[in-house]
Chain A
Amino acid sequence: NAGVTQTPKFQVLKTGQSMTLQCAQDMNHNSMYWYRQDPGMGLRLIYYSASEGTTDKGEVPNGYNVSRLNKREFSLRLESAAPSQTSVYFCASSDPGLVSEQYFGPGTRLTVT
């Protein structure tokens, strides 16, 4: 039981390059999320998917796209990376409901030069 997995763990991109961050969960959760963490800012929601087939913008969606490929997988794409997207990216999943804990992946540390 791996929980939430993310690939890659580290990535360096040049400005303008594109890449996709992969996330998968094996807990049969309906809801999945992408956050970014910047120093002094806490975690901010980029996009979320309340259930398979639906995605919605969070607090900071600009410059990103997402795909909920199936119930297990939720990917985050940077079409044209910018230095402002240098951050640590976390994927998370949970059951719906007020009391449900969110389970986090290990994070991807992305640097855009």
Chain B
Amino acid sequence: AQKITQTQPGMFVQEKEAVTLDCTYDTSDQSYGLFWYKQPSSGEMIFLIYQGSYDEQNATEGRYSLNFQKARKSANLVISASQLGDSAMYFCAMREAVFNQAGTALIFGKGTTLSVSS
């Protein structure tokens, strides 16, 4: 079963608008971490934001915020005031606390391509 599901292959938004990128996850662990990474066309992986399963407040980093709904197992990324430079692939990822086959590695979703137009 997929651990991380990103159902939006592509999203389109106009500059200065907000956009939400969806992410749902599957885990039986009580302790886990959720990450979002950005991959621009140049290919590098850029860390954006982190949310811990026990964090009571939604994480925020500048224009990025994470809408964490634990009961629904969702961790959506919200980008406010989109900019042309936000055009990229965005990956949701999870790390589980219990030791599993992947050890401490991140498990990634398949990604969402965001296109920002002027």
Contacts and interface: CB of A to CB of B under 8 A. Distances in A.
Interface string B25-42: 000000111010100000
B91 A42 contact: yes
17 contacts: A31-B104, A41-B110, A42-B4, A42-B110, A45-B102, A56-B103, A58-B101, A96-B104, A98-B52, A98-B97, A99-B50, A99-B52, A101-B35, A101-B47, A101-B50, A102-B106, A103-B47
A5 interface: no
Interface of A: 31, 33, 35, 40-45, 48, 50, 56-59, 88, 90, 92, 94, 96-104, 106-107
B108 interface: yes
Nearest to B4: A42
B52 A48 contact: no
B43 interface: yes
B92 to A, nearest CB: 9
A50 B91 contact: no
B13 to A, nearest CB: 21
B22 to A, nearest CB: 14
